[in-house]
């Protein structure tokens, strides 16, 4: 009887018995199971966190475990490999808080061990890739040097001995062009203009200017190489012309009469040298594919046009131009090797792959950036100068202002998240990073930028990028907010109910893009007659206070647009909320209220009244407009706010106090 086929069986432990050929797959599954067991033990056996950070982490971790037990599910996947990230604590229905900086020490199989090994593997892989690229650069440079030198040496010998075929070709081409390009013709005028533009001194000056910008951008070796290549090419051109002393083609009626010798062509050599060098600079600076293609096409066209110009004007032989074209890559290859462009900046870096570079993610609102490519280049250059890995980019959408993007950035286990957008983008990123101990850098490109103005952060784009990478960390408060038809959320600046939200919602979008926050003045004028609302305001455990108001603002900071300090006592790190009720009874009382705000009056009455506390509940008698940090949310009757002290790290200029 034929043997029965072997079938995998399932023993009590649930793992199938496989044949010899599947031994590698079984080992792989066993390894994954061990890692999963280690992750489970991380939740079951985690030691107590440090005292200064234990309270928040313990509450969050307990909520997660309780939610997991109630739902009968396993521990959430914390590998960070999926772009769609589920926030910790999702099972409890409460906002997730990532504790990237508060991971317990384990036996090497928990999340901290995996994160460390993963970072080391990434660093080692990146080091190997850099080493491979460097070796490729050196091989190409060596080939260009040897091939170009050999080709130029052969051509030089043929010119010196006046090899008949080459000399005949030179004379025939020069003679033919004298019949095509005649003095006073339009073609002659065109080539004369090309000659003037491609003067060697013009090209040398352009190369020096580009080199200065490259050095200023942090690529010192690359900029010095560009200057060195042009200098060596200039000296070698002068030496060869004096050595060969070849006269220029004899022309009866010359269009142009330059001085000096003919071999090799200075215009052709310098144009080829500078054009190819600029292409190399573009490639080294990681310009986008379209930019690389454009640079290569422009360089090739320039080299061909200048070479044609020298022959068409009969000021050089064809061999003069060919010699320049062959000599240029030899010079470039030799200088690349001499300046060490194929060597790493820090030779010791290749031998220490276990020291990973810091990682950064950028959550970008593309609708706020005029030139996204230039912005990305600025961020990437700054990151490279500071020794960071290339940034990971997450763009917001109309449907998601940044929630999933911020969670994905945290899942990637980055060391810094940069929020590039308006107040809305900044609010969402700060909300998602609350409690993570991952600092947030802010690049303000919105209309109001209220948090940036209140914190004294730079409004200039490049300065803001620099501060994000090089600044110090400051711990700030956030405000947890809930309400009717409003899921639990957070804000960093202010929440408003009534007139304030109506003004924000009705500001013309086009005008905001043109004149910035001044566009709100138009909306204020339209809404000065906004009807009064009856509200109940409860602060901490005090009984509610009933008032008729135009608007109620709950602030973590106190400065509005134009530098108006509506809440002068508000500080973003004092652990307190500041509340103001603005209630002028008539239109004519608005100037009096505005004057009190301008002079920072501490007078309290029904027209302007403030409170301070840790918890605030504002309840209106009817639905009214509401906003969070300048984002209009659904109309409703209630805002329940509670301060969350010190849950956010913000990058500040180095002059600010550190955490």
Residues 344, 373 within the same domain: no
Q: Write the DSSP assignment of 411-429 as a string of letters.
A: HTT-SEEEEEESHHHHHHH
Does a structural domain hold residue 194? yes
| Integer CA distances (angstroms), 141 to 298, 353, 372, 538, 556, in order | 22, 26, 34, 74, 59
Could you tell me the CATH number of the domain that includes residue 564? 2.60.200.40
CB atoms within 10 A of CB 36: 15
Cβ atoms of 452 and 442 closer than 8 Å: yes
Share of the chain above pLDDT 90, in %: 28
Averaged pLDDT of the chain: 77
pLDDT category at 113 given cuts 50, 70, 90 is very low
Of the residues 297, 320, 348, the one at which a domain ends: 348
pLDDT at 3 over 50: no
Of all residues in the chain, what percent carry a pLDDT higher than 70? 74
**What is the DSSP annotation of 176-230?**
HHHHHS-TTSHHHHHHHHHHHHT-HHHHHHHHHHHHHHHHHTT-HHHHHHHHHHH
Of 295, 327, 348, the last residue of a domain is 348
106 falls within a domain: no
175 and 319 inside one domain: yes
Kindly give, in sequence order, each residue whose CB lies less than 8 Å from that of residue 620, ignoring residues fewer than 6 positions away: 497, 498, 533, 534, 535, 637, 638
Tokens (6 digits) for 636: 């409703």
552 and 604 part of one domain: yes
- If you average pLDDT over residues 443-457, what whole number do you get? 87
Whether residue 653 contacts residue 457, with contact meaning beta carbons closer than 8 Å, is answered with yes
Question: Within a domain: residue 60?
Answer: no
Same domain, 454 and 511: no
Residues 456 and 337 both lie in one domain:
no
Whether 509 and 551 share a structural domain: yes
CATH code of the domain containing 425: 3.40.50.10330
3-state secondary structure 439-477: CEEEEECCCCCHHHHHHCCCCCHHHHHHHHHHCEEEEEE
What is the C-alpha to C-alpha distance for residues 77 and 374, in angstroms, rounded to an integer? Answer: 37
Which carries the bigger pLDDT value, residue 33 or residue 204? 204
86 burial level (CB within 10 Å; 0-12, 13-18, 19+): middle
Q: Report the domain count for the chain.
A: 3
| Residue range 223-268, pLDDT digits in tens | 898 899 999 999 998 999 888 888 888 877 778 777 888 899 888 8
The predicted structure's pLDDT at residue 214: 85
- pLDDT at res. 118: 55
Domain range for 189: 125-348
Strand partners, 555: 494, 578
Query: 173 and 212: one domain?
Result: yes
Does position 438 have pLDDT exceeding 90, yes or no? yes
Chain segment 288-308, per-residue pLDDT in tens: 677 778 888 988 899 999 989
Identify whether residues 172 and 315 lie together within a single domain: yes
pLDDT at 369 (0 to 100): 84
Mean pLDDT computed over 91-119:
41
Helix (H) or strand (E) segment spanning residue 646:
strand 631-652
Rounded CA separation 369/377 (Å) = 13
**293 and 401 share a domain?**
no
Q: Per the confidence metrics, is the pTM higher than 0.85? A: no
| 48-80 pLDDT, tens digit each | 333 333 343 444 444 444 444 434 333 334 333
pLDDT at 466: 93
């Amino acid at each position: 009887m034929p043997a029965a086929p072997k079938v995998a069986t399932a023993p009590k432990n649930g793992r199938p018995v496989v044949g010899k050929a599947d031994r590698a797959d079984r080992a792989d599954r066993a390894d994954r199971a061990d890692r999963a067991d280690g992750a489970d033990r991380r939740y079951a056996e985690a030691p107590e966190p440090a005292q200064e950070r234990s309270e928040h982490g313990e509450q969050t971790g307990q909520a997660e475990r309780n939610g997991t037990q109630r739902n009968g599910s396993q521990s959430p996947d914390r590998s960070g490999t999926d772009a769609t990230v589920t926030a910790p604590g999702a099972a409890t229905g409460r906002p997730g808080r990532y504790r990237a900086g508060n991971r317990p020490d384990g036996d090497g199989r928990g999340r901290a061990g995996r994160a460390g090994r993963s970072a080391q593997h990434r660093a080692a892989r990146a080091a190997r890739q850099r080493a491979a690229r460097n070796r490729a650069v050196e091989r190409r440079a060596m080939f260009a040097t040897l091939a170009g030198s050999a080709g130029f040496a052969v051509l030089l010998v043929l010119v010196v001995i006046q090899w008949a075929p080459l000399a005949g070709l030179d004379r025939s081409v020069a003679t033919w062009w004298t019949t095509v390009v005649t003095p006073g013709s339009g073609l002659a005028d065109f080539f004369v203009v090309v000659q003037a533009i491609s003067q060697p001194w013009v090209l040398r000056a352009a190369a020096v200017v580009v080199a200065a910008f490259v050095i200023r951008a942090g690529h010192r070796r690359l900029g010095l190489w560009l200057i060195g290549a042009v200098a060596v090419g200039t000296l070698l051109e002068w030496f060869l012309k004096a050595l060969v002393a070849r006269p220029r083609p004899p022309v009866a009626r010359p269009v142009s009469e330059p001085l000096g010798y003919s071999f090799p062509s200075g215009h052709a050599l310098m144009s080829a040298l500078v054009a190819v060098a600029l292409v190399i600079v573009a490639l080294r600076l990681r310009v986008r594919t379209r930019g690389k293609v454009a640079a290569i096409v422009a360089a090739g066209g320039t080299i061909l046009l200048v070479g044609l110009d020298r022959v068409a004007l009969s000021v050089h032989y064809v061999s003069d131009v060919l010699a320049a074209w062959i000599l240029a890559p030899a010079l470039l290859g030799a200088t690349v090797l001499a300046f060490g462009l194929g060597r790493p900046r820090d030779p010791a870096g290749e031998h220490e792959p276990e020291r990973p570079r810091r990682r950064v993610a950028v959550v970008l609102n593309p609708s706020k950036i005029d030139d996204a490519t230039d912005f990305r280049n600025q961020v990437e250059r700054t990151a490279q100068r500071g020794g960071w890995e290339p940034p990971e980019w997450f763009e917001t959408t109309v449907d998601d202002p940044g929630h999933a993007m911020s969670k994905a950035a945290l899942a990637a286990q980055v060391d810094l998240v940069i929020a590039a957008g308006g107040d809305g983008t900044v609010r969402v990123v700060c909300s998602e990073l609350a409690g993570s101990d991952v600092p947030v850098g802010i690049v303000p490109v919105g209309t109001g930028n209220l948090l940036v103005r209140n914190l004294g952060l730079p409004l200039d784009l490049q300065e803001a990028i620099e501060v994000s990478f090089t600044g110090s960390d400051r711990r700030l408060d956030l405000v947890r907010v809930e309400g009717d038809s409003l899921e639990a959320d957070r804000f960093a600046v202010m929440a408003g109910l009534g007139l304030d939200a109506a003004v924000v919602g009705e500001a013309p979008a086009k005008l905001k893009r043109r004149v910035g926050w001044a566009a709100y003045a138009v909306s204020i004028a339209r809404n000065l007659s906004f009807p009064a609302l009856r509200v109940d305001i409860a602060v901490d455990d005090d009984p509610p206070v009933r008032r008729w108001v135009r608007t109620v603002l709950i602030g973590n900071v106190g400065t509005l647009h134009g530098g108006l300090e509506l809440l002068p006592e508000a500080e973003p790190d004092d652990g307190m909320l500041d509340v103001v009720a603005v209630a002028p009874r008539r239109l004519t009382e608005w100037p009096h209220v505005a004057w009190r705000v301008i002079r920072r009056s501490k007078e309290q009455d029904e027209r302007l009244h403030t409170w301070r506390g840790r918890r605030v509940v504002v309840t209106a008698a009817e639905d009214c407009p509401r906003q969070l940090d300048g984002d209009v949310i659904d109309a409703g009757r209630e805002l329940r706010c509670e301060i969350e002290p010190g849950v956010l790290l913000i990058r500040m200029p180095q002059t600010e106090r550190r955490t």
